Amino acid sequence: MRSTLIFATNNQHKVDEIRSVIGDEFNIITLKEAGIDIDIPEPHDSLEKNASEKSSVIHKLTNQNCFSEDTGLEVEALNGEPGVKSARYAGEGKNFQDNIDKLLKNLVGKTNYNARFRTVISLILNNKEYLFEGICDGKIIPDQKGNNGFGYDPVFIPNRSNKTFAEMKMEEKTIFSHRRKATDKLIQFLKNHGTH
Ligand code: ITT
């Protein structure tokens, strides 16, 4: 029987992207599907700590194997911002457009547009926690392009591409993405631990 893992997120885009990488190998249950309605806190100053917080809250609640992920956009000229604050950069509303507007405003006059997405997955398997990281290097563009994806996708071009993530279909974003790289490590780990 396929192993079941709860994915501790309220972000459906993340669920779609991770499911497309994991395929049918594991049974991924969303919070909604598990009947859990909770706004998981992200109070910490690092992606690692916030990812741990999210998985441990759900583990305490369900006592089941689960994982979470925290992702940040780290912009060189802004000393790594918005980073851990990516979701709420322009305020508690977590509004994607407001966040992009604030980012572009803060980059006016800068010459270095280098940036990276970093994803940290926290897995709790049989009561022990494991972390996996995925990084996608690229750059920010000053004019938004594309309507696919979510968050900062319309202003981020990964290295070795000339399209923003928002101009790509999910399958193409997956070739480059931070989230896929972290998920690959998660899958490999689960297989090595005899979890199928
Ligand atoms: P959960 O905590 O419920 O998982 P969230 O949306 O709050 O969902 P994060 O705390 O990880 O997720 O916030 C990261 C923010 O960074 C997210 O709201 C987006 O604005 C942005 N982001 C994350 N992954 C992204 C991606 O692949 N492409 C573009 N923007 C992304």
Burial class (CB in 10 A: 0-12, 13-18, 19+), 89: buried
Closest by alpha carbon to 17, among 134, 140, 123, 99?
Answer: 134
The answer to whether the CB of 149 is under 6 A from ligand 1 is yes
Q: What is the pLDDT of residue 148?
A: 98
Burial class (CB in 10 A: 0-12, 13-18, 19+), 19: middle
Q: What is the pLDDT of residue 194?
A: 78
What is the pLDDT averaged over residues 148-174? 98
Residue 40 has pLDDT above 80, yes or no: yes
Exposure string (b/e) for 122-143, b if CB count within 10 Å is 16 or more? bbbbeeeebbbebebebbbeee
Which residues are the active-site residues? 70
CA dihedral 40, 46, 48, 50 (to 10 degrees): -10
Q: From ligand 1's centre to the CA of 5, what distance in Å? A: 20
Q: Where are the domains of the chain?
A: 4-192
Q: What is the mean pLDDT of the chain?
A: 96
Q: What is the pLDDT of residue 84?
A: 97
Q: From ligand 1's centre to the CA of 71, what distance in Å? A: 6
What is the pLDDT averaged over residues 120-135? 98
Q: State the architecture of 4-192 in CATH terms.
A: Alpha-Beta Complex (3.90)
Q: What is the pLDDT of residue 152?
A: 98
The answer to whether the CB of 179 is under 6 A from ligand 1 is yes
Q: How confident is the model at residue 196 (pLDDT cuts 50, 70, 90)?
A: low
> Ligand 1 test: best mutation among 74, 150, 169, 170, most atoms within 8 Å of CB?
150
Report the nearest-CA residue for atom 13 of ligand 1. 87
Q: How far apart are CA 80 and CA 58, in angstroms?
A: 29
What is the pLDDT averaged over residues 59-78? 98
